[in-house]
């Protein structure tokens, strides 16, 4: 992993000098998770900030009947566990690597020391919280206003970027993808067939295809 790659991915550390980034890098822990690995589980201590350096992570909860309920996806550059920076908590969800994933983490005590040393980081953290709320609102609005085609196209584009290849197998089951995009598995199948007829993707084996889709195809 290139020097400063993790810390430069997230806006919390923007505008810091290289020497300050060097200091932060000394407290960053690097982890690699193969596809299918559990990154964290419910009831784990929430004691560090997690930065997704590369990959895709499914965050979900388990219902009383054992069924998974997808909460959200983390893509390259996203952070998770911001609440860990301010108080002792335990996780209420699970995180699973959908593709080979690189994660960086910073322990609460180390990060709090950073905020005292570099007060601008505290302001950036507040800005990140604000953007997270805006992102959730935008996701809700997107589900209500954007077409299924647009939402699916965006997901495929983001997944191709995370995997750094245009030929890949869908990391999510269709039912989970449908839940995430606010539609049905049948609709997902129809839209994938439509994209293939339009020459945007080529479906191969089950859930595997090659995409030539661009970000604003829809």
pLDDT band at 1 (very low <50, low <70, confident <90, very high): low
What pLDDT, on the 0 to 100 scale, is given for residue 126?
72
The residue ranges of every structural domain in the chain are 5-142, 147-211
H/E stretch holding 31: strand 29-33
CB 100 within 8 A of CB 33: yes
CB 71 within 8 A of CB 96: no
Could you tell me which residues come within 8 angstroms of residue 192 by beta carbon, excluding any fewer than 6 positions away? 152, 201, 203, 209
pLDDT of 96 over the 90 cut: yes
The number of angstroms, rounded, from the C-alpha of 213 to the middle of its chain's C-alpha atoms is 20
DSSP assignments along 155-209, one per residue: HHHHHHHHHT-SEEE-SS-HHHHHHHHTS-HHHHHHHHHHHHHTTSEEE-STTEE
pLDDT of 15 over the 90 cut: no
For the ranges 96-100, 119-123, 131-135, 138-142, the lowest mean pLDDT is seen at 138-142
Reference 170, options 67, 50, 73, 33; nearest CA is 73
- Alpha-helical (H) ranges within the chain are 5-9, 18-25, 108-117, 119-145, 148-163, 174-181, 185-197
pLDDT of 188 over the 90 cut: yes
Round to the nearest angstrom and report the end-to-end CA distance of the chain: 34
What pLDDT, on the 0 to 100 scale, is given for residue 59?
93
Look over the chain and give the mean of its residue pLDDT values, rounded to a whole number.
82
What pLDDT, on the 0 to 100 scale, is given for residue 142?
56
Fold entry, domain 5-142? Jelly Rolls (2.60.120)
- What is the domain class of 147-211 according to CATH? mainly alpha
pLDDT tens figures, 156-166:
988 888 777 88
């Amino acid at each position: 992993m290139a020097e400063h790659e993790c810390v430069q991915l997230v806006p919390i550390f923007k505008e810091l000098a290289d020497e300050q980034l060097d200091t932060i890098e000394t407290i960053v822990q690097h982890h690699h998770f193969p596809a299918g690995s559990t990154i964290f589980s419910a009831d784990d201590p929430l004691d560090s900030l997690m930065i997704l350096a590369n990959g895709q992570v499914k965050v979900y909860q388990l219902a009383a009947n054992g069924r998974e309920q997808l909460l959200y996806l983390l893509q390259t550059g996203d952070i998770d566990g911001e609440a860990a920076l301010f108080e002792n908590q335990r996780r209420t969800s699970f995180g699973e690597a959908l593709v080979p994933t690189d994660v960086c983490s910073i322990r609460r005590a180390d990060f709090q020391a950073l905020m005292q040393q570099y007060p601008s980081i505290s302001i950036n953290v507040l800005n990140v919280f604000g953007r997270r709320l805006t992102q959730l609102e935008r996701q809700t609005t997107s589900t209500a206003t954007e077409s299924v085609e647009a939402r699916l196209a965006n997901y495929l584009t983001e997944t191709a970027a995370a995997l750094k290849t245009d030929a890949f197998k869908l990391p999510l089951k269709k039912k989970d993808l449908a839940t995430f995009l606010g539609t049905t598995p049948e609709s997902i199948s129809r839209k994938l067939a439509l994209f293939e007829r339009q020459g945007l993707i080529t479906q191969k084996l089950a859930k595997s295809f090659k995409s030539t889709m661009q970000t604003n195809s829809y």
